[in-house]
Amino acid sequence: MQTITAHGASIPALGFGVFRMTEAEVEAVVPAALETGFRHFDTAQIYENEAALGRALAAAGARRDDLFLTTKVWVANYSAERFMASVDESLEKLGVDRVDLLLAHWPGDAVPVERQIEWLNAAQAAGKTRLIGVSNYNRDQLRRAVAASAAPIVTNQIEMHPYLDQSAMVAAAQQTGTALTAYFGMADGAVPRDALIAEIAARHGKTAAQVGLRWLMQQGVITLSKTAKPARLAENFAIFDFTLTEAEMAAITGLARANGRIVSPEGLAPDWVA
């Protein structure tokens, strides 16, 4: 498995996300994901499937040292009373002593970035996570997080796909040494149906979904894939044996449009232009 390095930390470049998956789906697909080769698993408190992921990994006999586990603290737990307690609950559900990466899930509009980062640092200092990062922060928030944190902010997990121009965030992440992690890489199903991407895929003997994932990975982005169907796992994993040309990368990047953002919940999402 290829890795992405940020502040000396190596993170598997391809991950398996369980967003919008039921506990039954998680327990059915995760053993097959392990067999396929996935070792990086991404969940969150709000997904309500941390326990199912923990059970599935244990039942499959996965060695903890072989895994890279990420979870995210939900905004309702952004308080001195709830933050650390919620992390303890996540660890118990996952069946581990610590996760590899703990993220603040959304910046929200109620708790300053600096407080969120203070609590992430405390969780790391207490040995509950190996690494810390953020999710859905805008550029200004990312810079503030990096400035406020005693520990490296290794990643900002963001929506990233061909229809959304994230070049400004890519530049900000490079300036801060922060890796980006991409979610919604299939743009809610638009990528596999895209005629241009399908044409490029045909040249490589690949599917449009594989090209969409490869486009992300070739930018040096940690890429989260997702499927509830075990039969699709091999397809999602087989993206390391081909390379998109510069022209193909540029053509896919050219699909970006002004209204390309899909995920921007009120009260959680920041001002994306900041």
| Residues catalogued as catalytic | 47
Q: What angle do CA 184, 177, 221 make, to 5 degrees?
A: 25
CA distance 53 to 33: 12
Question: For the chain, how big is the Rg over CA atoms in Å?
Answer: 18
DSSP 192: G
Which of 71, 108, 113 shows the shortest CA–CA distance to 92? 71
- Sign of the Cα pseudo-torsion (68, 145, 170, 191, in order): positive
Are 153 and 214 a contacting pair, CB within 8 Å? no
DSSP 13: S
Report how far Cα 104 is from the mean position of its chain's Cα atoms. Answer: 12
Break the chain down into helix, strand, coil percent, rounded to 5.
45, 20, 40
Per DSSP, helices labelled H in 37-138 are 50-59, 83-94, 113-125
**Which residues are CB-neighbours of 273 under 8 A, at least 6 positions away?**
138
CA distance 39 to 30: 10
CA distance 10 to 1: 11
